[in-house]
Amino acid sequence: MNLSQLKPGSKSRILKIGSVGPLKRRLMDMGVLVGEEIIVEKIAPMGDPIEIKIKNYKLSLRKKEAAEIEVEECV
């Protein structure tokens, strides 16, 4: 399962970051690391991008970017 498939309100943990290069580095710099917990907060009115909460702050990213982030849902 990847981050772009989750619904608002769902909580998950990062298993793997699939992409390489600038996207991966940027995600790492923003604290999107393996093992981190993510809450999907909102989806933009037009369906993309999405807003997540990570490390206690809010981050937005496009679904295409979120699709690179493999997660498992946690309860």
Partner 1 sequence: MIDLEIKNSKKQLTVAVAGNPNSGKSTLINAIAGTRLQVGNWSGVTVEKKEASFKHGNLNIRIVDLPGTYSLSPYSQEEVIARNYLINMKPDLIVNVVDATNLERNLYLTVQLLELGIPLLMALNIYDESEKKGYKINVRKIEEMLRIKVVPTIATQKSGLENLLLEIESFASKPKNEILPMLHYNNDLDNSIKNVVEEIKPAYEYLNENKLRWLAIKIIEGDELVLKEFGIKNRNELINQFCGHLIKGHDSDLESLIADARYGIATGLSHEVLEKPKIQKEEITEKIDRIVLNRYLGIPIFLLAMWLMFKLTFDIANPFVDLIDGITAGPMNRWFAFLLASINSPAWFISLVTDGIIAGVGFVLVFVPVIFAMMFFITFLEGSGYMARAAFVMDKAMHGIGLHGKSFIPLLLGFGCNVPSIYATRTLENEKDKILTSLIVPFMSCGARLPVYVIFSSAFFPGNGGFILWLLYVIGIGVAVVSGLIFKKTLFKGENSLFIMELPPYRMPTMKSLMIHTWEKGKHFLVKAGTYILAVSIFIWFLLNLPWGVENKKDSFLGIAGQVAAPVLEPIGFGNWEAASALITGVIAKEIVVGTMAEIYVDNLDEPEKEELSFGNDIKEIGIGFYDAVKSAGINISSTFSIATITAEEDSGLSTLKGVIQTKFTPLAAISFMIFVLLYMPCIITGVAYKQEFGTWKWYGISLINGFGAAWILSLIVYQGGLLLGFGG
User: Which residues contact partner 1 (rule: CB under 8 A)?
Assistant: 17, 22-31, 33-34, 42-49, 51, 55-62, 65
12 and 3 Cβ atoms separated by less than 8 Å: yes
What is the smallest separation between the CB atom of 39 and partner 1, expressed in angstroms?
Answer: 12
What is the smallest separation between the CB atom of 28 and partner 1, expressed in angstroms?
Answer: 4
In whole angstroms, what separates CA 45 from the centre of its chain?
A: 18
Q: Please state, as a whole number, how many other Cβ atoms lie within 10 Å of the Cβ of residue 51.
A: 15
What is the smallest separation between the CB atom of 74 and partner 1, expressed in angstroms?
Answer: 18
In whole angstroms, what separates CA 46 from the centre of its chain?
A: 18
**13 versus 25: smaller Cβ distance to partner 1:** 25
